[in-house]
């Protein structure tokens, strides 16, 4: 019974921390910048990612150096 109580308490604490973390963050400042950025598609695996985080080679975009290598 003590274990269950502890589990419930832990969930409540995690939930409270997450809630306060979201509130303390300015309303999506870095998120909006990423969202408004051009999204590109990895030629190898098809995952979408911001252009600034992509790796470009021969007019093709890749999500990582590894996929760039694998595609050759």
Distances (CA, A) of 59 to 4, 13, 16, 27, 71: 56, 48, 46, 35, 13
* Contact (CB, 8 A) for 21 and 10: no
Nearer to Zn ion, 40 or 63 (CB): 63
Q: Output 35 or 45, the one with its CB closest to Zn ion.
A: 45
Q: Least distance to Zn ion from the beta carbon of 36, Å?
A: 22
Q: Which is nearer to Zn ion, 44 or 57 (CB)?
A: 44
Pairing of strands 60-62, 55-57: antiparallel
Residue 30 beta carbon to Zn ion: minimum distance, rounded to whole angstroms? 23
Where do contacts with Zn ion occur on this chain (CB under 5 A)? 42, 44-45, 63, 67
């Amino acid at each position: 019974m003590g274990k269950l109580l502890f589990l419930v308490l832990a969930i409540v604490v995690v939930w409270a921390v997450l809630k306060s973390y979201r509130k303390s963050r300015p309303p999506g400042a870095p998120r909006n910048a990423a969202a408004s950025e051009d999204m590109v598609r990895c030629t190898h695996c098809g995952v979408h990612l911001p252009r600034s985080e992509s790796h470009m080679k021969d007019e093709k975009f890749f999500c990582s150096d590894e996929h760039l290598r694998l595609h050759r």
